[in-house]
Amino acid sequence: MNRFPHRKLLLAAVCAAFLGSAFAAPDAKIAALAAKEKPALLDTLKELVSIESGSRDLDGLEKISDLIAAKFKTLGGEVELIDPSADAYRMEDTPEKIGRVVRATFKGTGKKKILLIAHMDTVYTVGMINRQPFRIDGDKAYGLGIADDKQGVAVITHIVSMLQAMKFKEYGTLTVLINGDEEISSPGARSLITRMGSEHDAVLSFEGASIKEDKLSLATAGIASVTLNVTGKASHAGSAPELGVNALYELSHQILQMRDLSDPATGLKMNWTISKSGTNRNVIPASATAAADVRVLKVSDYDRIEQQVNERVKKQLIPEAKVELKFERRRPPLESSEASVAMARHAQQIYRDELGLPLGADDKAAGGGTDAAFAALKTKAPVVERFGLQGFGAHSADAEYVLVNSIEPRLYLGTRMVMDLARGK
């Protein structure tokens, strides 16, 4: 028998008061729509995954861009299919022809301009779909490119569907941008993404979150590459080595003198990762090549490291050798800003207070390069990454999946974010 029943009542009242002040009930209409859209989103994922769309597979990219364009046209968008090939930033591995960009524009009655971005291309080659067909196993939906980034395309599609179902048009412009060259450093779409980012009041990027830590990204590393090409002169290594110009010696010298350019204090990393020289054991090598991977956390660090490598390459071991250096800025870093932090905090509040779920967000650089960095390059508006589903196994041969139970929360969050941004919240 409880001798102090009033204490239980008091405790219950205090708890109820605390919970009432700390948590807001989810918007019932949005929650119901998210639940309704879940099976439709899974159907969309199956459609997207069933089309192979590697970054260099132009036929596949044409098919999937047609599918995506049709979906946004059905939702009432003004849709354009843009060929970005002519104005592409040309890197060593950039193909002549680049997959199309889908841009869908929805006009509203308000003033705010909101941009939603994702990519349709994958790292896979034609035929690999047989190893990763779409399937659902428990709480996991598997498929080719499903986590990176076909889920992002699907989530955006069904956020727009939910907004249309509610007849919500309080934004000025809602723009969707889906490109087909992200996995090859977005040589075609980068300038368009940068321009669109500068023209909008907020950018939400829908790369997926991790299954280990559900977390929005406010910062990611920038990626660059350094390529060295050394030309020497061949000669017999046994009978006349002095008549040759050893490209391998010069390459080795260059690598060694540029081995200490990393700067842990600023997060700048430069590491030589590939080298090749010569044709035969008994021939002085007439050519040699090497490549280095560069990572930076600030755009300004690109200028510094590029200047350093260009200065050091002038110091040759063998003056007769011809040394050529190429520095490519493959992706800028996504740098955190006060505006991005504020938008992420708002998303966290929605997730915590309305859904009762944790959502991480900090300015620690995480993951690889992202198109969100191009969107943030020339704007002070908020740009936040990883509004997509939780997943695992991106770029893997047979184990890429997303968590089915993350669909409704992400649809709810994305829809609420668009609505609050449109209303100036």
Which string of DSSP letters, residue by residue, matches 77-123?
-EEEEE--STT----TT--SS---EEEEEEE-SSS-EEEEEEE--BS
Cβ within 8 Å of residue 49, ≥6 positions away: 129, 132, 133, 134, 143, 144, 145, 146, 150
- Written as six digits, the tokens of 409 are 């929360």
Closest CA to 160 of 46, 79, 53, 51: 79
Which entry of 37, 52, 121, 214 is annotated as an active-site residue? 121
- Written as six digits, the tokens of 128 are 């690999």
Which entry of 57, 148, 149, 182 is annotated as an active-site residue? 182
Please indicate whether residue 121 is annotated as part of the active site: yes
CA 366/CA 218 separation, integer angstroms: 9
**Partners of 236 in beta bridges:** 283
Measured CA angle at 359 (ends 356, 361), to 5 deg? 150
CB atoms within 10 A of CB 11: 10
Q: Which amino acid is at 398?
A: D
Residues with catalytic roles: 121, 182
